[in-house]
Amino acid sequence: MGLLCLRLGAGIVLFHDGVVRSVEAPDEQHFIRLLIESAAGLFLCAGLWTPIAGGAAAIIGLWGAFWRSGDPRSQILLAILGGGLAMLGPGAWSVDARLFGRKRINIPDR
């Protein structure tokens, strides 16, 4: 349930930022970045291709922290969330778990 909340939180913010910024400034140079940002948000919300979408979220967050004007704290937080989700995976309630099965790492007792 915790991974679902993290995925939804990061995904909604990514999708909202991508859509709102593309409507406000329809510049062709930034359109591809905004399209990737929106797609990563949708994929994170659904739990589809979570490691790829989380990695894209981390890259977009770092890019926004260093090259966007304004306060970088929210972009740094988004980058941390994206990187963490890329490493943790989608969780039990995701499209990835339904399509590919849930993978668990078993650590043997010593």
24-77 pLDDT, tens digit per residue, is: 766 766 788 888 889 999 999 999 999 999 999 999 889 888 987 778 898 899
The Cα–Cα gap between 44 and 90 comes to: 8
3, 90 in Cβ contact below 8 A? yes
pTM: 0.81
Residue 23 burial by CB count (10 A; 0-12/13-18/19+): exposed, middle or buried? exposed
**Residues in the chain, overall count:** 110
AA identity, residue 6: L
